[in-house]
Structure 1
Amino acid sequence: MIINLWYVAEWSETVKDKPVKTKVLGQDLVLFRDLTGKVQCLANVCLHRGGSLAGGWVNEKRDCVVCPYHGWEYDGKGKCQKIPSEGKDFTVPPRFRVDAYPVEERYGMIWVFMGDLPEEERYPIPDLPQYGDPEWRGLPAEYTWNAEAARVVENGIDIAHASFVHPVFGYPSTAPDNYIDNVEKHEWWGRSTNVMFPPQLKGGFLGWRKLIRKDKQETRVHPEWQLPGMVVRIQIDLRPGWQIVMFDANTPVDEHTTRTFAWQFRSFMKFKIFDKGSHKRLVTILEEDARIVEAANPYYLPETLANEVSVKSDKFMSTFRMARRKLIEEKGWHIDLDKRDSFKGRTVLTVPSPARREARENGQKWVFDAMPTIPPVKEPQALKAFEKEVVGLTTDSANSNESIVD
């Protein structure tokens, strides 16, 4: 699990007039709306005796969440503003504050930045231009996996598995014919174009979906990964002017659970009557993937390819692995799960927030200990070896027309 990235914490419609509890990166959070309607996000723990802020309420002025244990009030910046037992004239010390995380609402989702980077250094929230565009019909969906988020992302951008896991996307017999036409790789995102030969579509009133494409008709599919939000975006070009776009934000609830916040958009058949079938097909695809991913071994994404065999069709997935490894080995942003668990139940650990960084730079102390992370590697040999392995996959282009953009 990696800090200093944006993650989707909840749907916007879920947070109304009461505090809402959620979890990201194994840490409990509380979300609440203030008087202006802006969502605030704090570590879900009171400084005093560890009460759950999500079990409380928003005060009358709607500028603070109130701990249900002793009534301590915290504003959207995490500062304690009121301690009832100490009287109205009591001045709350500046040190009395919890971690508060930056929040943005986009695409009907609440995005929370889980880290302490200054705003100008953060990777951006991925774009979703189809959202709110009348030329597209969008459907939201949600799914919870018993799997690590990185495994879920890798599955989403793996086109080769479609011929075997998703009958709607491919035939096993056409797997050798599918190929990667182009790969574009950047620091925090990557995109590829794939040519596939899927089956003729089925279903719809009087079987109308079979008219969308012929059996084994050449189809271009464009998968994309983004580190912010652990996003997978896939565009399928069914025919000229007819596209499907799937946008999945895959939130690591903890190291064993991933919560997918999804949108599916279509540029055709935009009447509401077609929504039920589209939603059912989306959920079916997620369930087909989950049966495979949840049974994968090892449970976590391997650190290198040394104990795992990869082939040319894996090269796009490898760009995601390499970008993720750089965050771990070069930046030191991966949570140290072993060290975290050694403290479990004895102390509060929270992902450091921007305010905590400012306090540290000013020589001020923080009440709660920071969530431990694995330090950067001075000589990242594993990363260098991994990059060499990836290059080996991406330079073998004898039977394809791919290009790599770095």
Structure 2
Amino acid sequence: MLINLWYVAEWSDTVKDKPVKVKLLGQNFVLFRDQQGKVSCLSDVCLHRGGSLSSGRTIRDCVACPYHGWQFNGDGKVEFIPSEGRDFKIPDRARVDAYPTEERYGMIWVFLGDAPEDERIPIPEFPEYSDTANWRALHDKWDWKAEAARVVENGIDIAHASFVHPMFGEAETAQENHIKNVELHDFWGRSWNEQYPPELTGGFLNWRKLIRRDRQPTETIPTWYMAGMVVRIQINLNPRMSLIMFDANTPIDEHNTRTFAVQLRSFVKHPLFDAGSRKRLHKIFSEDQVILEQSSPNYLPETLANELSVKDDRFMSSFRRARRSLIEENGWLIDSAVVKAHDGRKSFAIPSPFRRERADLRWVMDPVPLVPPLTSAVKIVDQAELS
């Protein structure tokens, strides 16, 4: 699990007039709205006696701990301690970590880390989401008992469709599917693929067969983004009809992932068709779930040398290399083994931007332990990448 990335914490319409508890990167957080409607995200541990802030209530622009009523504003600073009265001078260190938030695409994005604003990997662009005249949006979510990086890699792996998803492929055409082009950047990548899927079926009087004939060449364009662990897949069914899947894959902890999914379609945009679209989406997720939750190891191997790769895997390998650079060069990987050793006995906090600015403060909670970056002398070199 990596810090210093944007992650989707919850759907926007879930956070209303009460605090909402969410879990990301193995840590608990509280989301709440102030009087202007802005969402704040704080560490969900009261620094006084460990109360869960998300079990409290909102009072004006603060969230109040249910244990002793301490009120925390959106910056994590204690504004009021009821037992001490209004005239009490609250010490500057009476604060918990607070994290930047943005609301986009119906989602609440939270930046979990202390990187300065100008150094943050940006939230992926999704311009089609606001183009309601040409696209119909369907929102859904899915939970996996699998690590987020595994879920991302599965999403951009076009080759598996011929064996896992009958809707998108057939084993007999697996060799014909091919990558046409790949575009790579530091923290995102895209590929263009041609596939030969079977004829679409279903719908009233089997109308979906009119969309695509059997083994009709179909362009599939998967994109991975490190920010949000996002997978975007665009499927151009024919020159006039396209589907877009935008999945933000949030690490709940090292074993579990929650996917916040937005599916767009450029055809049959009436809400009456949503039920069928949702059913097909769940079918695809269910087919992938069977594979991912039985894969070993649970985690994405840190080096390609631990799995045998072929030429068709080069696009997935680009995601692995980008992820590894954040681990080996930046040292952004949470040391889950150390966190687990303190489970139930000590609370940690993801370091926030203000913690970096005020390193002079004696913060009540220690920052979550990280795996140190590798020096150039001990960096892992994958022979598979060099072949």
**So what's the TM-score if we normalise by structure 1?**
0.94
- The aligned residue for residue 165 of structure 1 is 164
Aligned partner letter, 2:261? A
Pick closer, same or farther for the CA change 1:354–1:176 going to 2, 3 Å.
same
| Pairing 1:100-139 to 2, within 5 Å after superposition | 100-133=98-131, 134-139=133-138
Matching residue of 1:18:
18
Q: Superposed, which structure 2 residues align to 1:4-403 within 5 Å? A: 4-59=4-59, 62-133=60-131, 134-360=133-359, 363-379=360-376, 381-383=378-380, 385-386=381-382, 389-392=384-387
- What is the CA distance between 1:298 and its match in structure 2? 1.1
Is 2:331–2:371's contact at 8 Å kept on the other side of the alignment?
yes
- Preserved CA contact (<8 Å) 1:304 1:382: no
Q: Is the 8 A contact 1:359 1:366 kept in 2?
A: no
Instruction: Indicate if the aligned counterparts of 2:176 and 2:196 stay in contact, CA closer than 8 A.
Output: yes
Q: Distance in 1 between matches of 2:54 and 2:306?
A: 44
Contact 1:319–1:390, Cα closer than 8 Å, also in 2? no
- Please state how far the C-alpha of 1:287 moved relative to its aligned partner: 0.7
Note if contact 1:46-1:67 (Cα within 8 Å) is conserved in structure 2: yes
CA contact (8 A) 2:348 2:368 kept: yes
Contact 2:331 2:370 in 1 (8 A): yes
Give CA-to-partner distance per residue, 1:88-113, whole Å, 9 cap, x none: 21010001000000000001100000
Check the 8 A contact 1:352/1:370 in 2, yes or no.
Answer: yes
**TM superposition shift of 1:304:** 1.1
1:42-74 CA-to-partner distances (Å, cap 9, x unmatched) read 000101000000000001xx2100000000000
Distance in 2, matches of 1:97 and 1:298, equals 39
CA shift for structure 1 position 273: 1.6
In structure 2, the CA distance between the partners of 1:324 and 1:215, relative to structure 1 (3 Å rule), is: same
Q: Kindly state the Cα deviation for residue 241 of structure 1 after the two structures are TM-superposed.
A: 2.2
1:282 Cα deviation from its structure 2 partner = 0.7
Q: Aligned pairs, how many? A: 386
- Matched residue of 1:138: which SS? strand
Query: After the TM superposition, which of the residue ranges 339-348 and 130-139 deviates more from structure 2?
Result: 339-348
The structural deviation recorded for 1:274 is 1.2
Question: Structure 1 residues 98, 380: closer, same or farther in 2, change over 3 A?
Answer: farther
Give the Cα–Cα distance (whole angstroms) in 2 for the partners of residues 130 and 306 of structure 1: 39
CA–CA distance in structure 1, aligned partners of residues 252 and 129 of structure 2? 25
Q: Distance in 2 between matches of 1:89 and 1:251?
A: 42
Q: CA deviation at 1:380?
A: 6.2
Determine the C-alpha separation between the residues in 2 that align with 1:110 and 1:310.
36
Residues 188-227 of structure 1 show CA distances to partners (whole Å, capped at 9, x for unaligned) of 1000011110000000111111011110011110000000
Shift of residue 306 of structure 1? 1.7
User: Counterpart amino acid of 1:93?
Assistant: P
> Residue 188 of structure 1 contacts residue 226 of structure 1 at CA under 8 Å; is this kept in 2?
yes
Task: Report the Cα distance in structure 2 between the residues aligned to 1:380 and 1:21, rounded to whole angstroms.
Answer: 43
- Secondary structure at the residue paired with 1:2? coil
> Partners in 1 of 2:306 and 2:24 — Cα distance?
30
Structure 1 Cα separation of the partners of residues 117 and 386 of structure 2 = 33
The residue that corresponds to 1:402 in the other structure is none
Amino acid aligned to 2:148: A
The answer for unaligned runs of 5 or more in structure 1 is 393-406
Gaps of 5+ in 2: none
Taking the aligned partners of 2:147 and 2:189, their CA distance within structure 1 comes to 20
For residue 127 of structure 2, give the secondary structure of its aligned residue in structure 1: coil
What is the RMSD computed on CA atoms of the aligned residues?
A: 1.0
CA contact (8 A) 1:329 1:380 kept: no
1:235 touches 1:245 (CA, 8 Å); kept in 2?
A: yes
Q: TM-score, normalised by structure 2?
A: 0.98
Which amino acid in 2 is paired with 1:54?
Answer: S
